Amino acid sequence: MFKEEKEESYFYMFQNYLGRTCYGKTDDPTKRLKDYIGHNGDTNTRFKLLLCGSKSDISDLEKDFKYFLDEQDCAVYSISGYQIEWVHEKIMYDNLIKVILEWLETDFKGISIISEHTTLLST
């Protein structure tokens, strides 16, 4: 039997316990958040921004976001040989949120804001 593939995907962004901006895409935001909490032990980890759209729209958004970070020389892809997706501290978190929200109004109208601050986990 074939596993049915979800048609929707999610883009998230948050600041980790060190104040670094992290981002990515996932098909299961609750599981992804639990993974982050399991890795860093910070039970206060929350997705500051969570967006939902088609897999192709979310992939395009992430690709454009990475391009934007590369152009700003703000992308951090590895530390000590570990693959990561962080944003250099020299760019303000709130400015990144503004960029993404502007894109939603112009280029990614099919993507919805699930939350601008969400826990996804019950306490």
In this structure, is residue 106 part of a structural domain? yes
Block residue for tokens 């990515």: 24
80-121 residue pLDDT tens: 877 778 888 888 888 899 999 999 999 999 999 998 655 555
What SS3 class is residue 32?
helix
The confidence band for 1, taking pLDDT boundaries of 50, 70 and 90, is: very low
- Interval 63-68 mean pLDDT: 94
Q: Look up residue 43 and give its DSSP letter.
A: T
The number of distinct structural domains making up the chain is: 1
In this structure, is residue 1 part of a structural domain? no
In this structure, is residue 47 part of a structural domain? yes
In this structure, is residue 2 part of a structural domain? no
Q: Which domain holds residue 28?
A: 8-115
CA angle centred on 33, ends 115 and 37, rounded to 5°: 130
In this structure, is residue 121 part of a structural domain? no
In this structure, is residue 41 part of a structural domain? yes
The answer to whether residues 84 and 78 touch, using CB atoms and an 8 Å cutoff, is: yes
